[in-house]
């Protein structure tokens, strides 16, 4: 098959640091190419991926996260670019929400997605767009003819009325995550420094449990003030340590050596890939019962699901009863990149029938 992968226009391939959608699309594209498919990725200028069978088409003059006022313009340009080239592909796979294609001309609203004649798959990765636009999807039944994927059952729930929708869990190359059955005595928190990720709760947990906490997280511009006023004063460099944003090698070391990952998420996060990355290293999770957490963690076997900071702190005292090998096996069984790729191929073939 000739497959177009279209990622948000501000994202480069490969991601410079942690990445999210970009990392998933690279993994999917490389594995599709290994299966003999021809893959084209539409991404921001400066993107590069040197792998046989994978081609990059640049869609914007610069990674526009530096100038978000330009995002809308380049999103439309990218959609028009893909539309003009659609006959070069058997499948077009968008990795962002079709609401982005909605705009007005002379007071008349239309959606660019409706002009595609080649089979289209839309993968939702974000919860915010869904929650804001449920009524739009309900009222615009022209969008119901397309096929959609979600990264968890909880993620799919608000749009479960869409007739052609599937759940495909994120998958990782488990073999690239080093397993460790003898961790050190510290907790870790990975993600972004933002209230919804629960970094303040993670600090509270560490203090209640009397454990060292290593925080590896990005601070976005919009969260700079929150970090400076709320989080930074609590970082003492001894019990509470902040190491900034980490790359893949640093992340694996941090995860594999941790006693456990704390995941005190404050919102219904669609997936939370750091959970499966931790378990791939053998590191169990203690997480709040939000979003996809009950689907990702096998409570009592690969970690503990709790509801409060005090419950999370208490759970740390019994984390050593979790078999770290079972954590690894759980990810190998349900959240491996090969299985994820196979499921996408199944959906692609379904679209072509």
Give yes or no for a contact between 18 and 54, defined as CB atoms under 8 angstroms apart: no
Contacts of 231 (CB under 8 A, 6+ apart): 193, 199, 200, 203, 242
161 and 24 housed in the same domain: yes
Identify the CATH number of the domain in which residue 242 sits: 3.40.50.2000
Average pLDDT over residues 217-246: 95
* Domain that residue 255 falls in: 175-334
* CA atoms within 13 A of residue 38's CA, in its CB half-sphere: 5
DSSP state, residue 319: G
Residue 273 confidence (pLDDT): 93
Reply yes or no on whether the pLDDT at 283 is more than 90. yes
Burial of 106 per CB tally in 10 Å (0-12, 13-18, 19+): exposed
Distance CA(29)–CA(25), nearest Å, equals 6
223 and 158 housed in the same domain: no
**pTM of the predicted protein model:** 0.90
158 and 252 housed in the same domain: no
Residue 142 confidence (pLDDT): 80
Greatest mean pLDDT among 8-12, 125-129, 245-249, 275-279: 275-279
Residue 100 confidence (pLDDT): 56
Distance CA(126)–CA(112), nearest Å, equals 20
Which residue, among 168, 150, 169, has the nearest Cα to 159 in the 3D structure?
A: 150
Give yes or no for a contact between 86 and 118, defined as CB atoms under 8 angstroms apart: yes
Q: In Å, how far are 47, 65, 130 from 59, measured between CA atoms?
A: 10, 14, 25
Average pLDDT over residues 237-242: 98
Residue 109 confidence (pLDDT): 60
15 and 143 housed in the same domain: yes
The pairing of strands 102-105 and 108-111 is antiparallel
155 and 263 housed in the same domain: no
Reply yes or no on whether the pLDDT at 64 is more than 70. no
Helix axes 309-316, 199-209, angle to 10 degrees: 50
* Concatenated DSSP letters of 43-88: E-TT-----TTEEEEE-SSS-GGG-GGGHHHHHHHHHHHHHHTGGG
Residue 104 confidence (pLDDT): 47
Which contacts qualify for 101-105: CB closer than 8 Å, 24 or more apart?
Answer: 101/75, 101/76, 102/136, 103/76
Residue 116 confidence (pLDDT): 87
59 and 43 housed in the same domain: yes
81 and 53 housed in the same domain: yes
Our measurement of the distance from residue 270's CA atom to the centroid of its chain's CA atoms, rounded to an integer in Å, reads: 8
330 and 340 housed in the same domain: no
Tell me how crowded residue 48 is: count the other CB atoms within 10 A of its CB.
Answer: 10
């Amino acid at each position: 098959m000739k497959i177009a992968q279209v990622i948000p226009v501000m994202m480069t391939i490969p991601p410079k640091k942690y990445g999210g959608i970009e990392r998933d699309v690279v993994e999917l594209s490389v594995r599709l190419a290994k299966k003999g498919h021809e893959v084209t990725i539409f991404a921001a200028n400066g993107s590069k991926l040197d792998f046989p069978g994978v081609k990059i088409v640049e869609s914007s003059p610069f990674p526009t996260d530096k100038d978000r006022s330009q995002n809308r313009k380049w999103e439309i340009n990218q959609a028009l670019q893909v539309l003009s080239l659609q006959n070069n592909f058997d499948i077009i796979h968008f990795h962002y929400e079709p609401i982005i294609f909605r705009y007005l001309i002379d007071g008349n609203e239309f959606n660019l997605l409706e002009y595609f004649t080649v089979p289209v798959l839309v993968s939702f990765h974000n919860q915010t767009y869904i929650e804001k636009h449920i009524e739009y999807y309900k009222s615009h039944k022209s969008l119901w003819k397309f096929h959609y994927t979600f990264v968890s059952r909880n993620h799919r729930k608000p749009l479960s009325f869409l007739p052609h929708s599937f759940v495909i869990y994120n998958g990782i190359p488990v073999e690239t995550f080093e397993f460790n059955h003898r961790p050190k005595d510290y907790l870790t928190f990975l993600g972004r420094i933002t209230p919804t990720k629960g970094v303040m709760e993670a600090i509270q947990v560490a203090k209640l449990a009397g454990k060292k906490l290593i925080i590896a997280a990005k601070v976005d511009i919009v969260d700079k003030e929150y970090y400076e006023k709320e989080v930074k004063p609590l970082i003492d460099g001894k019990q509470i340590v902040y190491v900034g944003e980490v790359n893949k090698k640093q992340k694996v070391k941090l995860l594999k050596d941790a006693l456990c990952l704390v995941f005190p998420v404050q919102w219904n996060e669609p997936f939370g890939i750091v959970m499966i990355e931790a378990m791939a290293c053998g590191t169990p999770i203690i997480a709040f019962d939000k979003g996809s957490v009950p689907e990702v963690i096998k409570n009592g076997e690969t970690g503990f699901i709790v509801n409060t900071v005090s419950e999370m702190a208490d759970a740390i005292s019994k984390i050593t009863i979790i078999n770290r090998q079972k954590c690894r096996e759980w990810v190998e069984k349900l959240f491996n990149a090969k299985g994820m790729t196979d499921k996408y191929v199944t959906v692609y073939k379904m679209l072509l029938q």
